[in-house]
Amino acid sequence: MDCKPFILFLFLCLFIRSAKLDIHPTNEVNLLDSKASQGELGWISYPSHGWEEISGVDENYTPIRTFQVCNVMEYSQNNWLRTNWIPRNSAQKIYVELKFTLRDCNSIPMVLGTCKETFNLHYLESDEDHGSKFREHQFSKIDTIAADESFTQTDLGDRILKLNTEVREVGPVTRKGFYLAFQDVGACVALVSVRVYFKKCPFTVRNLAMFPDTVPTDSQSLVEVRGSCVNNSQEEDPPKMYCSTDGEWLVPIGKCLCDIGFEERERACQVCRPGFYKASSGNLKCSKCPPHSYTHQEGSVHCSCEKNYFRHEGDPASMACTRPPSAPRNVISVINETSVILDWSWPEDSGGRRDVTFNVVCKRCWPEPRLCEPCRGTVRFLPRAAGLHNTTVTVADLLAHTNYTFEIESQNGVSLLAAAHRQYAAVTITTNQAAPSPVTVIRKDKTSRNSISLSWLEPERPNGIILDYEVKYYEKQEQETSYTILRSKGTNVTLNGLKPDTIYLLQIRARTAAGYGSSSRKFEFETSPDSFSISSESSQVILIAISSAVAIILLSVVLYIVISRLCGYRKSKHPDEKRLQYGNGQLRLPGIRTYIDPHTYEDPCQAVHEFAKELDASCIAIDKVVGAGEFGEVCSGRLKLPSKKEMCVAIKTLKTGYTEKQRRDFLSEASIMGQFDHPNIIRLEGVVTRSKPVMIVTEYMENGSLDSFLRKHDAQFTVIQLVGMLRGIASGMKYLSDMGYVHRDLAARNILVNSNLVCKVSDFGLSRVLEDDPEAAYTTRVSKYGGKIPIRWTAPEAIAYRKFTSASDAWSYGIVLWEVMSYGERPYWEMSNQDVIKAVDEGYRLPPPMDCPAALYQLMLDCWQKDRNNRPKFEQIVSILDKLIRNPGSLKITANTTSRPANLLLDRNNAADVSFHTMGDWLDSAQTLPCKEAFSGVGYSSCDTLAKASTEDFKKVGVTIVGPKIVSSIQALEAHTKNGPVPV
Ligand code: AMP
């Protein structure tokens, strides 16, 4: 039975089915693929009637070649089919994939005994093609191939056709090529396709390293392959991978990184686009140029800065380009004798950098002609002059009464790169007088039983002309319980009347117009012993000396009496107690300059001309009106004195039609002002009395009065700046109190502010205008001078019984402190003067302004001590403020306060509790304006009546927003009113 046609039909159908699935992995390299050949394959069959080559088509009608054999009826079949010579290529191990169909012997009748269901696969290696020569014995068997699935007659009928695929490995192969041979021993088999291939690890890129095509070895070991970096990249760790025998890449190690200016994109290093840069190697993306920088090129490593912007050496490329800072702002100077504290605000523009530092340049200046030279080495800067990180510096050891200009320069990391001008703010100051430094060298010239002669050297820094020296001495044993003081104009003195053989301790201090300097250290001297013999000549000399001394003393006493009498005529009949008494009752030392009340002059005009310079009206040019004074307009203008530079001045005029008393009162301010010389007291330039209008000319203060200035600049200053202003005011007040002058009307409205934020005490008028408004600053309570009392600013004892002292000025200073810290808020808001008097008397005090440092609020409370002896002296106030300025951290702790609208007065007796007294503000704070009216309507006109209001009362008038704090305050006040005020 010839079954060939039917076999062919079978395998063709099968072939079509299998061809659709014929996809090879990419790591397989074909050495032979029978399907690829469209013509005759030309393989050799032995014997020739064995394997038969048959043509067919696949599903695409592409011709293919197949082989078949089916001599199942005959015994002893040995049919060979040999391929052509196949070059080995680089293969070490080859794979043979066979696709075939095989008929089940059971399905063929009559073939039992002869029919086989397997065939054999052989191979032969050779370096060259042997052509058609075929020797069976040369071949080595690879394997016997059996079908996984064979087909039967029934299958045929049902058209269930099975294609077998078998793969066999052969290796290692070493020769240049090889043959394959298929041996049939009596099966019915159709060889549909033969594919011979080897495996390789294909070219790949891993971690930016390229790995070439690699053929694995025949053994089981992996092949280690070094990768090479892709273009524009560098090895970080040597890249490696292993090629497995299956042609798979395993275990990638190491990597390459893209060069600067290149980024990883699609497994390659690609150039950064314009507008982007990459400054470091690594597989980061290119970054966009930071602010104020650009690049127009591809592959940029960094971006260039825009015009006027710079990059400091250490700045990372990712940082924006920056520029030098603007100048510091709001420089204020606080002068303390020969040192000055400079304080300024941070520049408006830091140039985009945080490394802003400040340098302070000191220049000593002469006004006429304006010449400045760098300060000499003795000037000290604390903490230093250059590279300051904070906005404050103290400059010490300046010369007294000298003009200095300080330039505060701001710098940052790019200032040196910018060719721009220095950015600085300048402030000009004049140092004050300073007391002389202590005497350090004292020499004993002569010693006797009862006397010692001494001489000494002038202090190292006299800081002015030394008026005299005070020599204080006492017996060492007495421990300073009793001592003697001598004054000497020169630098030597003889101490007489001493005990023989006794040790004395002695201290000397020098005095200038600025007062006494510090005392020298204690020097020890001993008189000669009693037994010390004196010659008769010496005793005569001593006798003469004693008689002469007695004569001189007598003469001095007579002279003193005569001079005192003469001077006495000049003074009024009422000796001015202020000249002898310090504000708080301390005795003033004779010799220190004191204030002279112009009213003690019989002719006040004489006082004016004694203390004020008469100016020629032609030297004054009035520019404009800047304010309204009590006696006439206040103008700004210029004063040009011969051989002096023109200066800006304020000119107070006396309106025409004045009475003689008004003229006298007007000019009395000049008589007072003219006696003062201090940087925080408004300086009098002179008066015009010999022509009309009568004028008082003072230095010009550009920022006007402090209260309106602060209101205009609400919350715009640093605490240090505010404290600097307050320190200036306190320093001016210390000077006034040292002079024995009591201001009586210290208030922010009477402080003037210049362009450098220096505050100066002004308004030395002695009478007050009567105002129609009963709630104006001054009440109808008449002061000692016939003026009105500014109730809200005045100490209780001054209101009650007109006890005006420096201590009552200290109370007012506390109110100014409150005004400053609350940026010009009205003290006690809209409370009536009567309520203020009552509340203060009951022990209530203003609460801390918003964000007020606790230390400043404490100072306010100290100034508002009921007992005036407990209030701080101005000297102490200055020193407290100096300490706060030197240690700004201490200003960070703020006093507890309610939010600004809830202005509640504090009970001084119960400082921890917040109580209230300002009904209106409190009501405003609760946003209950109608209630405020309602309350007024039901008679809550004062604090204590309000205190009696119960929560029910609040509800009655519709107040529902009564917070716990307010309720507790009400309760506190209720308790307080029940128990009565506790004396402060
Ligand atoms: P007085 O009569 O001193 O209260 O001055 C009235 C107003 O004139 C003040 O509130 C200031 O606004 C202005 N004023 C007075 N003196 C000066 C001055 N020296 N410089 C600038 N403004 C001044």
The H-or-E segment that residue 8 falls in is helix 4-19
What's the confidence (pLDDT) of residue 389?
A: 94
Report the percent of the chain where pLDDT is more than 90.
48
Calpha distance 318→287 (Å, rounded): 8
Does position 221 have pLDDT exceeding 90, yes or no?
A: no
Inter-residue contact 42 to 9 (CB < 8 Å): no
626, 636, 652, 685, best to mutate for ligand 1 pocket (most atoms within 8 Å of CB): 626
What's the confidence (pLDDT) of residue 580?
A: 27
What's the confidence (pLDDT) of residue 905?
A: 64
The model's confidence at residue 765, banded by pLDDT at 50, 70 and 90, is: confident
Calpha distance 100→97 (Å, rounded): 10
Length of the chain: 984
Does position 878 have pLDDT exceeding 90, yes or no?
A: yes
Instruction: Name the residues annotated as catalytic.
Output: 745
**Average pLDDT of the chain, as a whole number:** 80
For 221, the token pair is: 């070991």
Question: Of the ranges 127-136, 217-226, 228-237, which one carries the lowest mean pLDDT score?
Answer: 217-226
Does position 225 have pLDDT exceeding 90, yes or no?
A: yes
Instruction: For ligand 1, say whether the CB of 629 is within 6 Å of any of its atoms.
Output: yes
For 417, the token pair is: 């790169």
Instruction: For ligand 1, say whether the CB of 631 is within 6 Å of any of its atoms.
Output: no
Inter-residue contact 284 to 259 (CB < 8 Å): no
For 797, the token pair is: 């004892």
Q: How far does residue 314's CA lie from ligand 1's centre (Å)?
A: 53
The model's confidence at residue 485, banded by pLDDT at 50, 70 and 90, is: confident
Instruction: For ligand 1, say whether the CB of 650 is within 6 Å of any of its atoms.
Output: yes
Q: How far does residue 879's CA lie from ligand 1's centre (Å)?
A: 29
Calpha distance 579→655 (Å, rounded): 33
Q: How far does residue 663's CA lie from ligand 1's centre (Å)?
A: 18
Report the percent of the chain where pLDDT is more than 70.
78
Q: How far does residue 60's CA lie from ligand 1's centre (Å)?
A: 111
What's the confidence (pLDDT) of residue 928?
A: 28
Task: Concatenate the DSSP letters of all residues of 746-799 into one string.
Answer: --GGGEEE-TT--EEE----S-----S-TTSSS-S-B-TTS-B--GGGS-HHHH
Does position 533 have pLDDT exceeding 70, yes or no?
A: no
Average pLDDT score over residue span 893-901: 59
10 Å Cβ neighbour count for 183? 23
The model's confidence at residue 161, banded by pLDDT at 50, 70 and 90, is: low
Q: For the chain, how big is the Rg over CA atoms in Å?
A: 56
Residue 630 alpha carbon, nearest atom of ligand 1: 2
The H-or-E segment that residue 453 falls in is strand 452-456
| Model confidence pLDDT, tens digit, residues 266-307 | 899 999 999 999 998 887 899 999 999 999 999 999 999 999
Does position 401 have pLDDT exceeding 50, yes or no?
A: yes
Average pLDDT score over residue span 342-351: 94
pTM: 0.42
**Residue nearest atom 13 in ligand 1 by C-alpha distance:** 627
More confidently predicted of 185 and 377: 185
What's the confidence (pLDDT) of residue 307?
A: 93
Residue 634 alpha carbon, nearest atom of ligand 1: 8
Instruction: For ligand 1, say whether the CB of 633 is within 6 Å of any of its atoms.
Output: no
With tokens 């019984």, the residue in question is: 801
Q: How far does residue 725's CA lie from ligand 1's centre (Å)?
A: 18
Average pLDDT score over residue span 607-632: 89
Residue 702 alpha carbon, nearest atom of ligand 1: 21
Inter-residue contact 753 to 682 (CB < 8 Å): no
What's the confidence (pLDDT) of residue 607?
A: 84
Does position 763 have pLDDT exceeding 80, yes or no?
A: yes
Residue 699 alpha carbon, nearest atom of ligand 1: 19
